[in-house]
């Protein structure tokens, strides 16, 4: 199935040779000389890499229909994560490698949106921030209160983030899923 570049909208998915892409930005340009063209900014669904690409006006590009399903993360089974569809209660096994860095932000019982293309999960849409419990970190040294000083903390999912010295094991903290940085105590 194809679509004209004149009909592009933000958020549309395209199945290009570079991979499955989503339109982040587009601009129709009509120069004084020559034909009109469409300048786009595309984001790769799997890697998150952003590329810029120019198409001729009214060029046909392969359109991809992405089915977005709300799923609940149940448990890990070997190299796969098991999700349950919130509506049909069907269970879906997804390879951890298909989810990339997102596996470090998922804990059992969390709800996420899984984009599915051709019956294959092509990523995961996480909330902007998640709450995770600190599994282990060194105790903050008394009197070592240098402003902005940080120490590494291992979270319940295995993710290691830099946290302020006052954070103790067992505390729940908010972590930004886009940057992997500590935001605040939960």
Q: Please tell me whether residues 141 and 116 are part of one structural domain.
A: no
Angstrom distance (rounded) from CA 31 to CA 52: 19
Q: What is the average per-residue pLDDT within 72-87?
A: 89
Q: Please tell me whether residues 23 and 34 are part of one structural domain.
A: yes
Q: Please tell me whether residues 77 and 44 are part of one structural domain.
A: no
Question: If we measure between CA atoms, which residue out of 130, 143, 107 comes closest to residue 178?
Answer: 130
What residue numbers bound the domain in which 80 lies?
A: 67-121
Q: Please tell me whether residues 30 and 41 are part of one structural domain.
A: yes
Question: If we measure between CA atoms, which residue out of 35, 95, 43 comes closest to residue 66?
Answer: 43
In this predicted structure, the answer to whether residue 32 has a pLDDT above a threshold of 90 is: no
Q: Please tell me whether residues 98 and 140 are part of one structural domain.
A: no
Q: Supply the pTM of this predicted model.
A: 0.70
CATH code, domain carrying 139:
2.40.50.140
In this predicted structure, the answer to whether residue 98 has a pLDDT above a threshold of 70 is: yes
**What is the total count of domains within the chain?**
3
Angstrom distance (rounded) from CA 6 to CA 177: 34
Confidence of residue 74 (pLDDT cuts 50, 70, 90): very high
pLDDT tens by residue, 35-63: 899 999 998 877 778 899 999 988 899 98
Average pLDDT, the chain: 86
């Amino acid at each position: 199935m194809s679509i004209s570049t004149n009909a592009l909208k933000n958020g549309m998915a395209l199945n290009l040779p570079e991979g499955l892409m989503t339109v982040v930005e587009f601009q129709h340009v009509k120069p004084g000389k020559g034909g009109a063209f469409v300048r786009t900014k595309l984001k790769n669904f799997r890697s998150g890499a952003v590329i810029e690409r120019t198409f001729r006006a009214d060029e046909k590009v392969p359109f991809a229909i992405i089915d977005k399903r709300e799923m609940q993360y149940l448990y890990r089974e070997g190299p796969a994560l098991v999700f349950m569809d919130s509506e049909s209660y069907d269970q879906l096994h997804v390879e951890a490698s298909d989810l990339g860095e997102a596996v470090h932000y998922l804990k059992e019982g969390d709800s996420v949106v899984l984009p599915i293309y051709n019956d294959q999960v092509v990523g995961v849409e996480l909330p902007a921030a998640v709450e995770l419990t600190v599994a282990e970190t060194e105790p903050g040294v008394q009197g070592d209160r240098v402003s902005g000083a940080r120490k590494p903390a291992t979270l319940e999912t295995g993710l290691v983030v830099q946290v302020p010295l006052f954070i103790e094991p067992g505390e729940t903290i908010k972590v930004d899923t886009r940057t992997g940085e500590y935001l605040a105590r939960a």
